[in-house]
Structure 1
Amino acid sequence: MVSGRAPNADLTAWLAVVAGAIGALMATLDISIVNSSLPTIQGEIGASSTEGTWIATAYLVSEIIIIPLTAWLERMFGLRRFLLVMAALFTLFSIACGLSTNLTEMIIGRVGQGFTGGAMIPTGMTIIATRLPRHQQPVGTALFGSTLIMGPVMGPLLGGWLTENYSWHYAFFINIPVCAILMTFLLVGLKPTAMKLDELKNADWLGIAGLAAGLGGLTVVLEEGNREQWFESALIWKLSAVTLIGFVMIGLGQIYARRPVIKLALLRNRAFASVFVLGLLIGAVLYGTSYVIPQFLAAIAGYNAQQAGGIVFLSGIPAAMMMPLFPLLVARIDLRVAVMAGMLLMAGSCWFDTTLTVQSDGSDFYLSQLMRGLGQALSMLFLNQAAIASVKPNEAGDASGLFNAARNLGGSIALALLATLQDRRMEFHHWTLFSAVRANDTGVQDWVNSQAATYGAGDAGTMGALHAIDQTVLRQALVMSFTDEFVALAWAIAIVIPLVLLLRPLPRGHHQMAMH
């Protein structure tokens, strides 16, 4: 027993922590659970492939907006009341999504899911910081951090399995029993607190409006930019202007508001600023690879949604295994060493995936996915701890909102840039490879002549053989573009690794306390 140590948390406190973890799991899982079901959903609600992407984008946009607002809403309504309302509304919006018969209904439901689900992510860290004594926070952090990793990797697998074996509707209806458990734990684990409606009078309305316009506009620009040919589109110009105005309003709120809705002053703390930037890159890898790998397996290896989801899920295994070990690790390993090891593992895993070929299948991702999962677990769990340790306890809510917004924003930026990179590099590789297939090459001519009969006689047969060459070249170009995406992710991680040296070690005595 350590003298002066705070007493251990009681059962109700742990129920509150578990509730926070469940809420974060559902919110992060629902980002990706529709990805594998998207083609089926689009067909049933009559949406085109371009329109169908808004089923995912609508959730992401609203979630990114609400996360930084959560600390303010929590102060105004009280943590228990706020989470109960959000969980109940999340359930109702999930039902609305499952019952949708057209795109408009689905998008409204997904926006509602994003707002209510996103509010449950940063509150998990707030519960840990306020309901657990310092020496037990590593256990809570491990539980919470694991859910943030498991949600995105479980989503494609669970969504694919439910769609293949039951119906896509259950990808939304599954939230009903889980949210019932969540609300029960919240009722037992958290004490009611008085509302502070005077927060409305003193609210940073400039900042609130700026967050909606700035983060919402930025996310849509990133998501739609590639499809709209970026600044060749009037829509992208208008949304960029909205984004700029929004960020100006956020800046004015920082200057004039009595209590800014998002405390950007925390970024002046170099330790927390490093956590923020590293969180951006972890989000980029977490959501970026969950997007790229299923695409590769579907296009090159012919995998269905459930099979591709199983490969993505591999990266969640190390996170699940590390959860019980984390309190011991945090007591023995320097935080900076652990985060650096995690980032190096993630960079190495992406580099391993630069050797993909047209013959590659899911087995080629086994090692890299396990490496990536271990790296994500080390980085995420220790960065969660670093975020709490680098700020005062009364700033935990603001820090949590910024850190979680960074992770989601990193994912959104990665998805947009990876989609653009894939299109540009595939076109580059296509024409580079095609230019190497010379029409006057006797080998090429002999192959075309030999294959022409397969596609019919005369000009039709020749055109068929030439089309077959083009398809082979396109397939190879696609594989090379996927390789370029993994190269980009590996370099992006490597560039930010030095920021680990700026992280603040845990307070003296924290390591010893973590063991009890």
Structure 2
Amino acid sequence: MSDAATPAAAPGTPATTPSATPAPPAAPPPFVPKSLPMTLGYIGASLTIGMTQGLAQGFVSSNIPQIAGDLGATQTQTTWLMAAFLIPRASLPLMLIKIRTQFGLRRFAEVAIVLYLLVSLAALAISDLRSAIVVQFFAGAAAAPLSTLAFMYMLEPLPPAWKMRLGLPMVMAMLSAGPSLARVISPSLMGDLGWGPLHLMSLGLAAVSLALVYALPLTSLPRVKVIAAMDLVSWVLIAIGFGSLTAAFTMGATFWWTDTPWIGWVLALAAVALTGAVVIELHRKTPLLDIRWLASPAMVHLTVTLLIFRLVLSEQSSGAPRMFTILGVTQGQLVPLFAMITAATVLGGLALIPVIKPERVPVLHLIALVLFCTGAFMDSHSTIDTRPAQMMLSQALIAFSGTFYLAPAMMQGLVAALAKGPNYLLSFVVVFISTQSLGGAMGSGLFSTFINHRQALHLQVLREELTAADPETTAAIAARMAALAAQMPDIAARKAQAVALIAQDASNQAYVMAYNDAYLLTFLVAATALCALLLHIFRDWMAARRQPAVLPANPEPAK
């Protein structure tokens, strides 16, 4: 899920947050079972809305070269479309819980989907890169509430016992599968028509989602005024910080970190803005975020584990697709690979349904890390002749592990937040969004930076080996010249072309070696996390064994 989903409070739990004028939480409405057709209707609405959100991001990220051609821009310039989409999504969900609590869930749902429909209509008028960037920024902002709506519609018809067990894995799998599914259907949609059909499909999905939202209303809690003026100040600072980090890590590897001064200024702005937000929140009686709770050992541990796994998951979005593009594999040839990834992502969610429980989270994470390590280690043995068919199993293992890890982690965080009280839900939202949205952008940027650095190093070594005095190099040039003899009668031109082809092969080989280094690095990071988790489980087991047995308070006398 290069993309972050915003957790929503389960129906039956008031989603209130601290404010300057705290109000007592309203009593949750009793759960009313729905008929089977209505239940299926709400689940279908959740799948449709979630797919609308997932495809919106995937259509852009998977088609940057084609979109660049349509807009008459370079690929470097077109990368700004991805940054523009991600910047508002990194911070806007932080206010969504309060917005829907103060203005009502039904109005929230209707306004959110209408705004997305309007943005989808505006996308049809894109004529150049500048207008495309503006539309993508508003598309990211309009898509931010859709993941929340997908959660709410999935949880609405389910009885309390099945909300976490069935609803959470299904929604997480669906949202994670969206970008991969976009790569499956994009080649057929675009064809020779360019970006237009993608806009039309997004518009159609938005229209269907709008109809479903109006036809299937969500149960709303009584409205409570929870938004204070200082909430907006803190949120603006967080939005500046998160947006700056997203822009820097999305574009850093493209423009290169040390060659572009504005990247350093943007990172400095992020540090100042986030520091200001923390200082304000620490000195408020009713803060937007409970910084002290977020800094507790349990929450720091959860944040670190979520961030590490999100970083290593960038191997799937920034690894294999880009490596195959360098090797000359077309988007159409990648369709079977991403169909397998999509199926494995969904299967990861389905596999959780019979087994997911809060006390089993460490074991589920253990399984996910083993599967990820296996897939990453298999990928690290790629060669210049590797093709998508040879990476289907490894990429399927990684996709399966992604859902198998993130859904239990999200359940663990929601349970911890709600155990402290519904007021802590928004603080957990910050943790989840910052690790998933920012972690995705950071992971992609760091992965690309590592690839570029290692490719330059490997290419330098290969060039030193490809000398005219080397017999193997001379033989390779002669073989290439012989193959080109029928096309190029001029010997000098033929030799120059042969040397250019060998240099291109060396560049491709250097890239494959760099990707192997990156795959191995992600394997080592995941293996380290696996060892740490094993030690943590062993420590808890030892602590449980040493715990003295608890005697009953009033033991019965022996008879």
TM-superposed deviation, 1:426: 0.8
Counterparts of 1:54-65 in structure 2, within 5 Å, are 54-65=80-91
Residue 384 of structure 1 corresponds to which residue in structure 2?
A: 410
Q: 1:203 to 1:85 in 2, by over 3 A?
A: farther
Q: Describe how 1:75-474 pairs up with structure 2 within 5 A.
A: 75-122=101-148, 124-125=150-151, 132-137=158-163, 138-164=165-191, 167-187=194-214, 188-192=216-220, 195-196=223-224, 198-300=225-327, 302-330=328-356, 334-392=360-418, 394=422, 395-448=424-477, 451=480, 454=485, 457=490, 459-474=492-507
Deviation at 1:348, TM superposition (A): 1.6
CA distance in 2, matches of 1:22, 1:249: 39
> Higher helix proportion, which one?
1
Counterpart position of 1:3: none
Q: Distance in 1 between matches of 2:428 and 2:212?
A: 24
Evaluate the alpha carbon distance shift between residue 448 and residue 255 of structure 1 in structure 2; reply closer, same or farther with a 3 A threshold: same
Distance in 2, matches of 1:332 and 1:122, equals: 22
Q: Distance in 1 between matches of 2:446 and 2:262?
A: 18
TM-aligned CA distance change 1:320 to 1:225, over 3 Å: closer
Deviation at 1:122, TM superposition (A): 4.2
Deviation at 1:7, TM superposition (A): 6.1
Structure 1 distance, partners of 2:493, 2:98, is: 68
Per the TM alignment, residue 168 of structure 1 is displaced from its structure 2 partner at its CA by 2.3
For residues 367-405 of structure 1, give each alpha carbon's deviation from its aligned partner in whole angstroms, at most 9, with x where no partner exists.
102211221221122223222222216133542453134
Question: Which residue matches 1:510?
Answer: none
Instruction: Determine if contact 1:284/1:413 at 8 Å carries over to the other structure.
Output: yes
Normalising by structure 2, we get a TM-score of 0.80
Answer with 448-457 or 422-431: which moved more.
Answer: 448-457
Output the CA distance in 1 between the equivalents of 2:345 and 2:203.
Answer: 26
8 Å contact kept, 1:23–1:117: no
Render the CA deviation track for 1:94-146: whole Å, top value 9, x for unaligned.
22223311112211111111112122324555677787554112111122111
Rounded Cα–Cα distance in structure 2 between residues aligned with 1:443 and 1:502 = 53
Q: Provide the C-alpha distance between the structure 2 equivalents of 1:496 and 1:136, rounded to a whole number of angstroms.
A: 30
- Partner residue in 2 for 1:508: none
1:194 Cα offset (Å): 5.4
For 1:202 and 1:432, locate their aligned partners in 2 and report how far apart those are by CA, in whole Å: 59
Whether the 8 Å CA contact 1:290–1:312 is kept in 2: the answer is no
SS in 1 for 2:319: helix
Whether contact under 8 Å (1:206, 1:249) holds in the other structure is: no
Structure 1 residues 446 and 46: CA distance shift in structure 2, 3 A: closer
**Cα RMSD between the aligned structures?**
3.0
Residue pair 1:34, 1:56 contacting (<8 A) in 2 also: yes
Measure, in 2, the Cα distance between the counterparts of 1:134 and 1:266: 27
Quote how far apart the aligned CAs of 1:165 are.
7.1
Would you say the 8 A contact 1:207–1:253 is kept in 2? Answer: yes
Using the TM superposition, give the Cα deviation of residue 352 of structure 1 relative to its aligned residue in structure 2, in angstroms.
Answer: 0.6
Q: Which moved more, 1:366-375 or 1:353-362?
A: 366-375
| Superposed displacement of residue 272, structure 1 | 4.2
Q: How far does residue 461 in structure 1 lie from its aligned partner after superposition?
A: 4.4
Alignment CA distance shift 1:258-1:9 (3 Å): farther
Separation in 2, partners of 1:28, 1:475: 32
Whether the aligned pair in 2 keeps the contact of 1:69 and 1:262 (CA below 8 Å) is no
Q: Which amino acid aligns with 1:172?
A: H
Gaps of 5+ in 2: 1-29, 541-559
Distance 1:487 1:373, change over 3 A: same
